[in-house]
């Protein structure tokens, strides 16, 4: 489009005005300025397939969402202290997707403040302070939640204990896998005890994306939650990565395990980029929080525009059958990536569910493919495909596309990835080397 500054001019001005802390995703400048469905366009008009973003959950600039937000903005958008029917309707709509005991919805603006609020609720309810989280998880950027893992550079604090991700994938003996996870969880709880801290909650990203997409079998997950319950702590399911249909088989990630959490937090995918997050929990938990003298108010959270956007996203998910799409196309994509793995020595493993898939790379010496993964996402950009990185070693390609990703998009991604892996391996490197 005419009139746009060049990406290099934007980089220079951005460094001056926004400071040095903002990193770029890719080694080369990339500036998407338009989006439609699973595709985006940069300033030069070049198209890219978006296989990464869950913020445009129902596709970039979906006309139904755009119209709903524009309509609400024309009518009113104000302080959330006032009544508005859309906000109530949105809360009811979210609650209708939850198990019945999760009957109360509190709105936030981001995933971080949803998790922060969940911690406050769990602490007020239990009268305790300790939080157990998985080793490489990311739960956000507030003082409290950034202490829950290494990814945000948070300081280690006495009230946090980190446990390894559960044994994942099909287990030869799920009972043994479950026992292993339960023991690790017990050690995490005991570690708090050595510091005179009692556990208030265990928080987990429901498909362990930042731990490298480590999805356990239901029995393994449930076994790991048992010591949490026995210690009198609550379970917080963080759905910021994969909530609202992404895993395909269930609407929420926690549904994969058949274990209902006490608090569910969400953000990113809920409202097409309008900042909306929420905590859904049981009424008694909110009651005790209030009875203990705590308050929660958040000026922008659950505004009429936020609710209009969130409702429109729910409409599109339902009308276009996008959870089913994630199950069907995601299932085929996972199988095709597994086939790709057998032909490419640089691919160590493929893991995931629905439209939440990790492709772990390895270096030629067998170590983590950190450099390979970095090279792959840059090469994929040159091939016109957006993919991200995950895992503690940043050696996992993160495939988490908008939910409208179809079979044509799947083929485009697979062809590009096939070529990129050839480039990375060098054309004459034998598979399995
Ligand atoms: N939880 C998880 C699992 C996340 O992946 C993220 C963001 N990547 C957050 C919480 C924080 O969300 P936000 O950036 O909206 O604060």
**Mean pLDDT within 399-419:** 98
**Region label for 13, one of left (φ > 0), alpha (ψ between -120 and 50) or beta (otherwise):** alpha
If asked whether residues 167 and 201 sit together in one domain, one would say yes
Ligand 1 atom with the shortest distance to the CA of 275: 15
* Domain, as residue range, for 128: 64-318
End residue of a domain, out of 277, 292, 318 = 318
If asked whether residues 106 and 225 sit together in one domain, one would say yes
Tokens of 182: 């339960």
Helix ranges restricted to H, 273-367: 283-291, 304-319, 322-343
- In the numeric block, the tokens 């429109």 are attached to 312
- Would you state the torsion angle of the CA atoms of residues 109, 111, 112, 114, taken in this order, to the nearest 10 degrees? 70
**CATH code of residue 25:** 3.90.1150.10
Determine whether the shortest distance from the Cβ of 133 to ligand 1 is under 6 A.
no
Which residue owns the Cα nearest ligand 1 atom 16? Answer: 112
**CATH code of residue 105:** 3.40.640.10
Determine whether the shortest distance from the Cβ of 111 to ligand 1 is under 6 A.
yes
Which residue owns the Cα nearest ligand 1 atom 10? Answer: 139
If asked whether residues 314 and 325 sit together in one domain, one would say no
If asked whether residues 301 and 172 sit together in one domain, one would say yes
If asked whether residues 116 and 150 sit together in one domain, one would say yes
- Determine the pLDDT at residue 429: 46
Determine whether the shortest distance from the Cβ of 282 to ligand 1 is under 6 A.
no
If asked whether residues 37 and 109 sit together in one domain, one would say no
- The phi, psi pair for 14, rounded to 5°, reads -65, -45
**Mean pLDDT within 29-44:** 96
Does 1 map to a domain?
Answer: no
- Determine the pLDDT at residue 96: 98
Does 42 map to a domain?
Answer: yes
CA of 113 to the centre of ligand 1 (A): 9
Helix ranges restricted to H, 141-267: 174-194, 218-230
- Determine the pLDDT at residue 67: 98
Q: Is residue 277 scored above 70 in pLDDT?
A: yes
Pairing of strands 234-238, 263-266: parallel
Determine whether the shortest distance from the Cβ of 56 to ligand 1 is under 6 A.
no
If asked whether residues 136 and 266 sit together in one domain, one would say yes
- Determine the pLDDT at residue 21: 80
End residue of a domain, out of 299, 318, 337 = 318
Q: Is residue 172 scored above 50 in pLDDT?
A: yes
What is the end-to-end Cα distance of the chain in Å, rounded? 46
Q: Is residue 68 scored above 60 in pLDDT?
A: yes
Of 136-150, 173-187, 363-377, least confident by mean pLDDT is 136-150
If asked whether residues 73 and 127 sit together in one domain, one would say yes
Determine whether the shortest distance from the Cβ of 398 to ligand 1 is under 6 A.
no
Determine whether the shortest distance from the Cβ of 110 to ligand 1 is under 6 A.
yes
- In the numeric block, the tokens 């991604």 are attached to 413
Q: Answer yes or no: is the ipTM higher than 0.90.
A: yes
End residue of a domain, out of 318, 335, 366 = 318
If asked whether residues 275 and 349 sit together in one domain, one would say no
Determine whether the shortest distance from the Cβ of 140 to ligand 1 is under 6 A.
yes
Q: Is residue 153 scored above 60 in pLDDT?
A: no
If asked whether residues 300 and 343 sit together in one domain, one would say no
Does 172 map to a domain?
Answer: yes
Pairing of strands 32-36, 39-42: antiparallel
- Determine the pLDDT at residue 203: 98
- Determine the pLDDT at residue 80: 85
Q: Is residue 433 scored above 50 in pLDDT?
A: no
Of 20-24, 319-323, 386-390, least confident by mean pLDDT is 20-24
Ligand 1 atom with the shortest distance to the CA of 277: 15
Does 339 map to a domain?
Answer: yes
Determine whether the shortest distance from the Cβ of 205 to ligand 1 is under 6 A.
yes
Shortest CA distance to 166 belongs to which of 241, 252, 257? 257
CA of 75 to the centre of ligand 1 (A): 31
Work out how many domains the chain is built from and give that number.
2
Q: Sheet of 130-134: strands edge to edge? A: 104-108, 277-281, 263-266, 234-238, 199-205, 130-134, 160-163
Which residue owns the Cα nearest ligand 1 atom 12? Answer: 111
Which residues are within 8 A (CB) of 150 and not within 5 positions of it... i.e. 6 or more apart? 135, 136, 392
Q: Is residue 123 scored above 60 in pLDDT?
A: yes
Buried-exposed string 37-62: b where 16+ CB fall within 10 A, e elsewhere: bbbbbbbeeeebbbbbbbebbbbbeb
DSSP three-state, residue 175: helix
If asked whether residues 313 and 326 sit together in one domain, one would say no
If asked whether residues 311 and 329 sit together in one domain, one would say no
């Amino acid at each position: 489009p005419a009139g746009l500054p060049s990406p290099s001019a934007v980089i220079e001005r951005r460094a001056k005005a926004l400071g040095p802390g903002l990193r770029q995703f890719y080694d080369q400048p990339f500036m998407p300025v338009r989006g439609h469905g699973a595709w985006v366009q940069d300033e030069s008009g070049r198209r890219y397939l978006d296989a990464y973003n869950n913020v445009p959950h129902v596709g970039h600039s979906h006309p139904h969402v755009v119209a709903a937000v524009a309509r609400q903005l024309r009518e009113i958008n104000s302080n959330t202290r006032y009544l508005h029917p859309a906000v109530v309707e949105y809360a009811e709509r979210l609650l209708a997707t939850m198990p019945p005991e999760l009957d109360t919805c509190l709105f936030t603006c981001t995933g971080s403040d949803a998790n922060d609020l969940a911690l406050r609720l769990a602490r007020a309810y239990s009268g305790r302070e300790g939080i157990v989280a998985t080793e490489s998880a990311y739960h956000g950027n507030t003082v409290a939640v950034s202490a829950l893992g290494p990814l945000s550079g948070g300081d280690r604090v006495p009230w946090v204990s980190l446990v390894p991700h559960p044994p994942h994938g099909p287990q030869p003996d799920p009972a043994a896998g479950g026992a292993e996870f339960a023991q690790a969880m017990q050690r995490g709880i005991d570690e708090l005890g050595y510091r005179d801290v009692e556990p208030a909650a265990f928080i987990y990203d429901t498909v362990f994306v930042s731990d490298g997409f480590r999805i356990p079998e239901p029995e393994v997950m449930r076994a790991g939650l048992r010591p949490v319950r026995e210690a009198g702590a609550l379970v917080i399911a963080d759905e910021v990565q994969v909530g609202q249909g992404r895993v395909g088989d269930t609407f929420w990630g926690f549904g994969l395990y058949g274990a209902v959490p006490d608090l569910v937090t969400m953000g990113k995918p809920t409202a097409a980029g309008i900042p909306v997050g929420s905590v859904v929990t049981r009424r008694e938990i909110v009651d005790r929080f209030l009875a203990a003298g705590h308050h929660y108010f958040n000026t922008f959270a659950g505004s009429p525009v936020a609710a209009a956007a969130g409702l429109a996203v729910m409409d599109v998910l339902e009308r276009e059958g996008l959870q089913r799409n994630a199950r069907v196309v995601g299932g085929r994509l996972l199988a095709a990536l597994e086939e790709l793995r057998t032909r490419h020595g640089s691919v160590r493993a493929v893991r995931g569910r629905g439209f939440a898939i990790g492709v772990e790379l390895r270096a030629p010496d067998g170590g983590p493919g950190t450099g390979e993964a970095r090279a792959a996402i840059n090469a994929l950009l040159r091939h016109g495909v957006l993919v991200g990185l995950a895992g503690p070693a940043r050696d996992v390609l993160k495939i988490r596309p908008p939910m409208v990703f179809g079979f044509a998009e799947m083929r485009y991604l697979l062809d590009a990835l096939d070529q990129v892996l050839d480039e990375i391996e060098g054309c004459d490197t034998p598979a399995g080397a």
